[in-house]
Structure 1
């Protein structure tokens, strides 16, 4: 057992552990351009931060009137994203330090992400985070993606942890809502500064309004210790 009792920590991946959103954006931009939708912008992409790839391409199909099926779009975007992710994905330094600190304390950890299992595996392996984060759950493996709690509840089940003992780290409003729905506490590190006032973040146990620029491994760990006590 860890030195902070029965606490288990569940990490979102994209935008929380790693800065993968630029790769998701570029994959989406390229695929849409190939399907006759030029000019897909970063602001267009921001609407989908925290939303699964499957849900994203379903919206694309409806909004842009794409002829390709949702399955075809999903597979194409995943392939393109994996190419980009394997070439370069950066782990946030303080998040890496936090993972290493928790691992040293014996804290059970998992990743719960809207990304595909292949994408999760590629990113964790490419960044070396898989050395400590060996358990991962994809939204593809559960009935509903975030903001439903399914992926977090499945991660807790695989960890053998009570949801009430789990702390989620999230960067997006749908993920914070999913953590709340799962009955878990949340450390919120908004990827988009404009989302810091989103109602989904209001219930976070610890809200770092400045996002990754404000997050430190030591402060997050001390918060865990205080709240465990």
Structure 2
């Protein structure tokens, strides 16, 4: 059996600790990640990766799952195809087909997610920036009830480069009509937070793997119901 993709295929994460915003800073708009922040779809995404990897003779390990957390379908397909010596386009199609087949109506918001999005949306424009494909992202946001509260959402297919490049967050903020420094990003992964920091947003990290690699962010909280996060929201929204 072929070994799993080497970690060097992973996009390089940025180091944590971006410069802090001004003490009186507050957001003019908010951009949320989707998977792992708004809804618990990371487990399904891992199952998709495992199924595709195994079909191509790769051993899917916990280390591989962690390394590819937050990756786009295109990046996952490239890593699997290169490790297996397979055609990238065929593996990419396999990844997309498998994800579509496993996506069900049982998509539910994570605790506090829908309430938080609604709360911000009542006062500020809100977007979602995700490495999902356009179709799958739309299905997830509609099924989980977030779509009516969003001004826009940006997928990996809407920009030249997915996360960890800054393109997705830069495009989301552009659509909302603000400068990156005026925007708040809420992220759970190193890949996603690296993207938001590189785009110039202020980042709140809610790590989905608490004992994983440090997530670069200006603020770190345990969950969207964490009193520390609720205190930040109260301060920002007045």
What's the counterpart of residue 82 of structure 2?
Answer: 62
**Structure 1 residue 171 displacement after superposition:** 0.3
Between the aligned partners of 1:89 and 1:27, the Cα distance in structure 2 is 15
Between the aligned partners of 1:9 and 1:122, the Cα distance in structure 2 is 21
**Structure 1 residue 228 displacement after superposition:** 7.4
Deviation per CA, 1:170-225, whole angstroms, max 9, x where unpaired? 00012111111111100100111122x52x42xx22102x3x3xx31775353145
What's the counterpart of residue 53 of structure 2?
Answer: 32
Between the aligned partners of 1:163 and 1:83, the Cα distance in structure 2 is 36
Between the aligned partners of 2:237 and 2:145, the Cα distance in structure 1 is 29
Deviation per CA, 1:39-66, whole angstroms, max 9, x where unpaired? 423442121111111111101111232x
Which of 126, 148, 151 pairs up with 1:109?
Answer: 126
Deviation per CA, 1:53-88, whole angstroms, max 9, x where unpaired? 1111101111232x2x22221222112112222242
Q: CA 1:113–1:61 in 2, change beyond 3 Å: closer, same or farther?
A: same
Between the aligned partners of 1:177 and 1:46, the Cα distance in structure 2 is 16
- Equivalences for 1:1-229 in 2 at 5 Å? 7-37=28-58, 39-65=59-85, 67=86, 69-104=87-122, 106-195=123-212, 198=214, 200-201=215-216, 204-208=217-221, 210=222, 212=223, 215-216=224-225, 219-226=228-235
**Structure 1 residue 5 displacement after superposition:** 6.9
Partner SS, residue 155 of structure 1: helix
**Uncovered stretches (5+) of structure 1, i.e. residues with no partner:** none
Q: Is the 8 A contact 1:98 1:221 kept in 2?
A: no
Moved over 6 A (4+): none
Q: TM-score, normalised by structure 2?
A: 0.81
Between the aligned partners of 2:46 and 2:206, the Cα distance in structure 1 is 20
Q: TM-score, normalised by structure 1?
A: 0.84
**Uncovered stretches (5+) of structure 2, i.e. residues with no partner:** 1-24
Q: CA 1:35–1:6 in 2, change beyond 3 Å: closer, same or farther?
A: closer
Q: Comparing both structures, which one devotes a greater share of its residues to helix?
A: 1
The CA RMSD over aligned residues, in Å, is: 2.2
Partner SS, residue 86 of structure 1: coil
